[in-house]
Structure 1
Amino acid sequence: MQWFRLDVLGQAPIRDTHKLLSGVAMIPEATNHDLLRRFEALGNLDLSLRTRLRDAAVPLHLERGQIAFDEGSPCSAFTLITEGCVNVVKTASSGREILLYRVEPGQTCVLTLNCLLESLTYPARGIAATECHGAALPREVFMDMLDIAPGLRQMVFQSLSARIVELMGLVEEVAFNRLDERLARLLVARLNSSPGGEIQITHQELADELGSVREIVSRILGSFADREFVALERGRVQIRDAEALKTISGTG
């Protein structure tokens, strides 16, 4: 399955890569504007390259929960998210998953970059965490632009560097920190985007992010609830004592 889905004038989703990238639909002007605004390197391209980007790119649309790319699938386009979020996860043979990183507006997927540059297949899976919009640029166009646009090359290198640091942090978390510390840290981090302290997330989703199993995460959440650090409801966690969670996580 490919990174993206294309909806054109009410047609059914087009899943074949060659059809998808055949230019059946140009990106709307609003999407082009969002690309140039979200991705500074694209906005700084000269007029001829910005025009080529607009003419070659095709619309991207993913529903929440849709697989954006699957492990072992080929990569034929450079994807640019302008709205929404894609979770990149690695799945073990046992079925357990761990969140490697998220791709949000203005960010690039390093696995996509690596697969494009080295002609490899995806080593992990991408899943739309929310409804996503953006654009997909065919590989040959992306590679040509990479050769002649220093700003685009710099964006690629910076993205690779930042993700390497992020993944090193993930390895350290998994290898050296207890699960209750990691869970507390994750809940505290989610507070910034959760009005009223209510986090919309299931126990399974928390387990997937932490690379654990639901039963263990539920048990730790239960202990937090017993101490009145959180209140648990179906599909949500209400934070009652953020300072206590910060202390557990080592950030307080």
Structure 2
Amino acid sequence: MEKLNKQALWNIHFPEFVMAGEGGINSLMASAKLVELPAGQQVFYPGAVCEQYLLVLEGSVKAQIISEGGREMLLYRVCSGDSCVLTTSCLLSGDNYPAEGVAEGNVLAFAISSHAFYRCIEQSAFFREFVFKKFSARLTDVIGLLEDVTFSAIDTRLSKALLAESTDVITLTHQELAAKLGSAREVISRHLKRFEAYGWVSLNRGTVTLLNTEALSKVADKH
């Protein structure tokens, strides 16, 4: 039954693996273990040894850095069809994890052992291309985030984050917004209250309602 379920999941979430028709890929798919991670489970942590390559099927894993003072900075989310750039980097370099990963909601994923990963990297041109394309795309996102944190004003980044939610009622706490932007909750709260005073947003417990997206867009477009 598990074999049938695994095959169906490969067909649904990673059909390119099935279509590759390579012996190395077929071996990798056969050896992959289906794992379920409950909400809030730590998937990896700073200093941990990387022993497997995860391909997420359902749910998401957030990769984040936590400072000594307890501030969180969200690096990225690994969602359905994705792999983790930190995991790839650690497998290729042999280094330990520099950040932590936490399951958001229940996560279903394929876990591929480091041995199977290395063997398939050597044998399969398809797998090498898949791994490095995912790695490159995610690394570009992380660099963009670091550029924003370093060079963009907080009001610009906050406006962009609010508009990116694609809904007028955003169910995020000030702490969650701060983690997304790599800032402190107090700083985000101060700017949100200023936005509220301008009539751009309305603040309630756990939600931010957008009232003037045109004004927020002008701030988001500032350089």
TM over 0.5: yes
Larger proportion of strand:
2
How far is the alpha carbon of 1:70 from its aligned partner? 0.5
Task: Report the identity percentage.
Answer: 35
Q: Are positions 1:124 and 2:124 aligned together?
A: no
Change (3 A) 1:236 1:150: same
Tell me which residue corresponds to 2:128. Answer: 153
**Pairwise CA RMSD of aligned residues?**
2.0
Q: How does 1:129-148 map to 2 (within 5 A)?
A: 129-148=104-123
1:63/1:236 CA distance change after superposition, 3 Å:
farther
- Specify which of 88, 91, 100 is matched with residue 63 of structure 2: 88
Provide closer, same or farther for how the CA distance between residues 31 and 218 of structure 1 changes in structure 2, counting only shifts above 3 A.
farther
Alignment of 1:33-112 (within 5 A): 33-46=8-21, 48-49=23-24, 51-112=26-87
Tell me how far apart the structure 1 counterparts of residues 155 and 140 of structure 2 sit (CA, whole Å).
23
Secondary structure, aligned partner of 1:201 = coil
Q: Is the 8 A contact 1:27 1:54 kept in 2?
A: no
Q: Give 1:32 deviation, angstroms.
A: 3.5
CA distance in 1, matches of 2:152, 2:62: 22
Cα distance, 1:125 vs structure 2:
0.6
Pair 1:245-2:216 in alignment: yes
User: CA distance change for structure 1 residues 130 and 242 in 2, over 3 Å: closer, same or farther?
Assistant: farther
Unpaired segments ≥5 residues, structure 2: none
Q: Which runs of 5+ in 1 are unaligned?
A: 1-25
**Residues 85-126 of structure 1: per-residue CA shift (max 9 Å, x gap):** 111111222221211111111111111011112222101111
Offset at residue 48 of structure 1 (A): 4.2
CA deviation string 1:5-54 (max 9, x = no partner): xxxxxxxxxxxxxxxxxxxxx95533443334333542333264454234
- Cα distance in 2 between the residues matched to 1:240 and 1:66: 36
Q: Count residues in correspondence.
A: 222
Mark the CA change 1:27 to 1:72 in structure 2 (over 3 Å): closer, same or farther.
farther
Does the 8 A contact of 2:24 with 2:123 survive in 1?
no
Match of 2:183 in 1: 212
Q: Report SS of the residue matched to 1:74.
A: coil
Name which of structure 1's ranges 202-211 and 35-44 shifts more when overlaid on structure 2: 35-44
Matching of residue 226 in structure 1 with residue 197 in structure 2 = yes
Higher relative contact order (CA 8 A, sep 6+): 2
